[in-house]
Amino acid sequence: MTTTAIAPFEWIARLLPRTATAPFCPSEVQGSVAVPAGAPFWKRALLSAGPGLLVAVGYMDPGNWATDIAAGSRFGYGLLFVVAATGLAAMLLQVLAMRLGLVTGHDLAQMARERYARPVRITLWLLAELAIIATDVAEVLGAALAFHLLIDVPLWAGVVLTGLDTLIVLGLKGHGFRQVEAIVLALVTTIAVSFIAQLALVHPDWHAMAHGLIPAPSLLGDHEALYLAVGILGATVMPHNLYLHSSAVQTRRSGEGGAALRDQLRLAGLDTAVSLALATLVNGAILILAGAAFHATGHSAVDQIDDAWRLLTPVTGARTAALLFGIALLASGQSATFTGTIAGQVVLEGFLNLKIPCWKRRVITRALALLPALAGLLWAGDRAVGALLVFSQVVLSLQLPFAIWPLLRFTGNRAIMGAHANGVLVQMAGWALFALISLANLWLVWGWFHPA
């Protein structure tokens, strides 16, 4: 009698799915959440809520922290109006992405595959993948820094620990899309509550904060202020979120016909506005915290997240402030783990019509983020975290026009969108934003290679 030997780790391979699986395969989860047309408004609103939250976590990731902390410590509340303006810009772009998905039944990547020649769509796919990897680098560094601050492990070890989040993704295979949204909601709530508590400890100047919301073009005459403002813009609006949102809204299933579509658009618009308003408030809270804790106490050169963490306790006199800061940072890094994986599946399936198991997608993306993060730390040391975070935001900002261009072309085309095509004012605002971001990119790159 002979026995068949089992190769090492083969038992693990047998447990892993060989095909794309929910909740990360767009085609599997499309229309998986029913929104009954006859249900009360509040119930339909709750069932429709979620896709906006998935994209909102990208607007409060560790990359945003670096720019907001530097802006708050250097200029106090002065650049708060920039945070508010970029939040409004994000809402406009995400609403357009949401409308494209609901009206056409195709996400932005699928539309590009159908409408553009192969060289163009391959280029757009590669740029979208680069944006996802750059985002993941920021999440890796942010989560690694949180591990370093909370449990005192070396930064390189914290980077390695972030690779374990793949196990979380594996544990979710076969679960519904709403479970992922619930996990992200819990993480976002953790971030928001942590910052509310921290603001209560630092006692910000509310009058000065309100004044900071008033646009101050004269302040942008300062080269450093302008550079930080452009950094906030580059760190806030993320290209992969446009692909993700146009797909995620299609998880909702409602009735047929024009009235049902209009209702879906209203509910999804509400979800987007509330979710991104929350993200904008969190970004504003980070800047306000830095302004109240550092700028107001004479610490105007805090541009590293770990420096901010170390100063919080002596400045506020409360150990709780630093603990809450570290917990929020860890939640910020981990929340984008899920959305990055889903966005990766969306662009892969949309541009190439290719499906792979979600664990493979996660492993590929995380491996491509771990390598540059580890290499940067080992080569330049722990102080390289700030520079690496800023560089990841530069990469994101450079990719953004390549996602905005097709989005505006598709949503402004009546042959594609019908009666739901962009109006003149929306189209003008969109192209003005495209031009502003493109110019901001040129300035950001110039400032990167020619620092003041």
Q: What is the pTM of this model?
A: 0.86
Give the pairing type, strands 252-253 and 33-34.
Answer: parallel
Q: What angle do CA 278, 279, 284 make, to 5 degrees?
A: 95
Q: What is the pLDDT along the chain (452 residues), one digit of tens a residue?
A: 444 444 544 544 454 455 555 556 666 777 778 888 888 988 999 888 889 988 888 777 777 777 888 888 989 999 999 999 999 999 999 999 999 999 999 999 999 999 999 999 999 999 998 888 887 887 788 888 888 888 888 888 888 787 776 666 555 555 567 777 887 888 888 888 888 888 888 888 889 999 999 988 888 777 778 878 877 876 677 788 899 999 999 988 787 778 889 999 999 999 999 999 998 998 899 899 989 888 888 887 777 777 788 778 777 766 787 888 888 888 887 776 667 778 888 888 889 887 777 667 777 777 777 777 777 777 766 666 766 776 777 777 788 899 999 999 999 999 999 999 999 999 999 999 999 888 877 876 776 676 65
- C-alpha–C-alpha distance, residues 428 and 414, integer Å: 16
Closest CA to 246 of 358, 421, 130, 93: 93
Query: Tell me, what's the pLDDT at 32?
Result: 74
Q: What is the pLDDT of residue 12?
A: 46
**According to the model, what pLDDT value does residue 8 have?**
47
Q: What is the pLDDT of residue 416?
A: 95
Question: Where do the domains of the chain lie?
Answer: 25-406+419-446
Peptide bond into 154 cis (omega under 30): no
Tell me the fold of 25-406+419-446: Amino acid/polyamine transporter I (1.20.1740)
Torsion on CA atoms 405, 406, 409, 414, rounded to nearest 10: -160
Residue written as token pair 């993060």: 373
